[in-house]
Amino acid sequence: AVLSEAQFRDFRESVIAMVLGTDMSLHFKYQAEFKDAFEGKRFTSQHQLNRQEINLLLTIALHAADNANFAQPKEMALEWAWRSTEELFRQGDYQQQRSLDASSSMDRAKEAAALTAINCLVTSINFLVKPFLQEWTDFLGRGSSGHVTGDTMMNNLMKNIELLEQSGVEIFASCPGYETMAVRPRGVDRQDLAGSWGLRREHFKQWPRHRTMTTREAF
């Protein structure tokens, strides 16, 4: 359908707000605004949403989807963790190639790469993702069947956090392709992430094991 000029302006404003809302530097700002609106009962059937409130809700929905990777089933969550770790390490490589110090969470050679990765992941998930998704799933509420819409998401998240905290370093250090991740890029051909997904998936399926090593025991 063809949008009127006013509808196009509203649509454009909403899209811009949603995209800007994915900026993690604004994470706490939007989380606080959403919490205030939710607790103030502005997202109820008794309240007529204005354009600003609609944009806030759309922004939070996209931001939740953008940050819900670790609330997926185990194999997908661990694959996301692996790929995001490699992305951070590549940023650190790029910094060092330009004679800059690699950021602490992006230095694959600062200590054991698996230890650096898991420490960064556990901290960011517990500090940023978990509180935010809890707010979002509280908002989603209960459906007509009585099932909490966000139950699966939060159950996955809590199980995956526990797995990372208990066995994350061992999972990464024993994963196919770890030797490549743990080496600086000079003269090293980066293993194709998508092409090696099948090997990692089979590896991730093995966890949790009956006896797991703690982060410090692994190295």
Tokens read off for 7: 């509808």
Provide Rg for the chain, Cα atoms. Answer: 21
Predicted local confidence at residue 215, as pLDDT: 46
Of residues 186 and 86, more confidence is placed in: 86
Tell me if the pTM is above 0.85. Answer: no
Predicted local confidence at residue 140, as pLDDT: 85
Predicted local confidence at residue 41, as pLDDT: 87
Residue 96, classified by CB atoms within 10 Å of its CB into exposed (0-12), middle (13-18) or buried (19+), is middle
pLDDT in tens, 94-118: 998 899 998 988 998 887 899 999 9
